[in-house]
Amino acid sequence: MRHLLPLVTALVLSLLLVLPAQADQTIISSTNAKQVEGLLKELGFTGTRIDEDDDVIVMMHGRPVVVIVGSGNGRQLQMNVAFVGMGITLEQVNAWNRNRILAKAYLDRDGDTIFESDLDLDGGITVDRLKDWLQTFNMLIDMFVREVVHGQGVDDSKPVTPRRDRELRAGISPTVG
């Protein structure tokens, strides 16, 4: 029996390493600006504030990102960031949209590029899913800036999604295809 103790101890410790730290599996079907702002701060984002429309403004990659909460009654969320006067073409935007998922880009009436992502809370999602969406958009902005804004080009060979923190910790390859 004593020879099993190290094995059991190792198994328990390995399971603890795989479990996400402070996982929040609470199910929500709506949220508010205060909760979103709190989650952003918890995730380490700075420069957050709530505007007069009950939406949250947060800095990501040096750009103000709007998390639209109030106009969706807290049930449908949207994050967007504007790239003004960057000269991004419709061809570049279409290449992004063809080959990337989870966020889309478009040219507005003034020719500026809007980059956005939506999240529907109807039916319920976990708080962890909401956090993941916030972090994923941050990663997607970085990809968009490198590939489109800085002109490195979008790889047309296959769709790609960004690697999430939990995948990086577990050594899982990014989703492709």
Report the domain count for the chain: 1
Among the residues of 19-162, which ranges form H helices?
33-42, 90-99, 127-144
pLDDT at 157: 53
Instruction: Tell me the residue type at 32.
Output: N
In a domain, 18, yes or no: no
pLDDT at 36: 97
For 40, the 3-state DSSP assignment is: helix
Distance between CA 55 and CA 70 in Å, rounded? 6
Give the pLDDT confidence of 110-125 residue by residue, as tens digits: 999 999 999 999 999 9
Q: For residue 30, with 0-12 CB atoms within 10 Å meaning exposed, 13-18 middle and 19 or more buried, which class applies?
A: middle
Tokens of 15: 């399971």
3/82: higher pLDDT: 82
In a domain, 84, yes or no: yes
pLDDT at 154: 60
In a domain, 48, yes or no: yes
pLDDT at 171 over 50: no
In a domain, 176, yes or no: no
In a domain, 12, yes or no: no
- Provide the residue range defining the domain that includes 137: 25-161
**CATH code for the domain in which residue 146 is found:** 3.30.1460.10
Cβ atoms of 104 and 23 within 8 Å: the answer is no
Q: What number of helices (H) and strands (E) belong to the chain?
A: 5, 8
In a domain, 9, yes or no: no
Q: What global pTM score does this model have?
A: 0.75
In a domain, 2, yes or no: no
In a domain, 15, yes or no: no
